[in-house]
Amino acid sequence: MPTKFLGIVTNSFTETVRQPIYGVLLLVTAGALVLCVGISGFTLQDDNKLLKDLGLSTLLISGLFLSAFSAAGILSLEIENKTVLTVISKPVPRPLFVTAKFIGLASALAVAFYLTGIVFLLTMRHKVMERASDQYDLPVILFGCGALVLSILIAAFCNYMYDMQFSSTAIAIAVPLMGLVLALVALIDPDWQFQQFGKDFIDGQLLGALALVFAMILMLTSVALAASTRCGQVMTLAICLGVLFLGLFSDAMFGQYRDTHLWARIAYWLSPNLAFLWVTDALTQDTKITLGYVGMSFGYAMCLVMAGLLIAIAAFQKREVG
């Protein structure tokens, strides 16, 4: 059974990474994060605070689309094409199958968040050019663009010469290269001098906010997997959007009325409260985000993930796949 479980996890991860939408969304997200540097320059206050807000929002929306489309691609389409029968008939218990699918999908999304998160950190290092006298951060631009171009060129060469899958090869090459880029940029300042590691853009507050955004993406992934057991891509995306907006605005919709109306109290208890995980206001207002808060909020998110996964298991248990 562990071998079957690991096989489903590996297959789900590989299928997700090889989907064209996966690579396209990664490139679009990276481009949007770079574009945020220019857009943030039009505020009349601290432009770099807006850059944090826009960057984290871009990562969250990217994770939403990736989770919805990827979950539908590895489960909903398999059910429609009846290819899931080849696994279920092994026999493999359905709860084990759904759990393995989730872990494989979550692993692929973790890779995507790792890559786009590095791009976000690089934009935070570059910062907004608020004045005409500001200079470009050449280490960020040269190392970042060099890693992207090198990954694409090597993947294209391997695809042409050895018939290797392009997108998965490019991502496999980009993972270590982008990690190396982050390390180099953290050690080299804009004037090409060595500095204390990441002193100008890496801090615990920002990393804590990134961890909580990833927790939200994991929660949306479990919701997407549950929805894809019964719905196609469009409906899965719509359900994920609904859950996201409900979670972010549950305080405004139900929380303020829970002491006076029974229906509001019940709705507030039943709806996920994602406001605990969205800490951009704390970042932009220089409010300290403690390690204890990050740990408790991440634990709350994992409870939501487990709830979504249990719903996915229950929905798939009686799903007709034949």
Angle between helices 94-126 and 291-317 (to 10 degrees): 140
3 state DSSP class of 194 = strand
Quick: pLDDT tens for 36-69: 998 887 776 677 888 999 999 999 999 999 999 9
C-alpha distance from residue 152 to each of 64, 156, 171, 174, 264 (Å)? 25, 6, 9, 9, 52
Confidence class for position 142, pLDDT limits 50, 70, 90: very high
| Minimum mean pLDDT range among 26-30, 165-169, 182-186, 314-318 | 314-318
Note the maximum CA span of the chain.
69
Q: Per the structure block, which two tokens stand in for 298?
A: 């991440």
**Cβ(134)–Cβ(47) below 8 Å:** no
Averaged confidence pLDDT in the chain = 89
CA atoms within 13 A on the CB side of 185: 29
Domain extents for the chain? 2-317
| 3-state DSSP percent of the chain in helix, strand and coil, to 5 | 80, 0, 20
CA distance 46 to 33: 18
Closest CA to 75 of 95, 105, 113, 112: 105
DSSP state letter for 283: H
Percentage of the residues of the chain whose pLDDT score is greater than 70: 96
* Residues 310, 322: Cα–Cα separation, whole Å: 22
Residue 257 to residue 230: CA distance in whole angstroms: 33
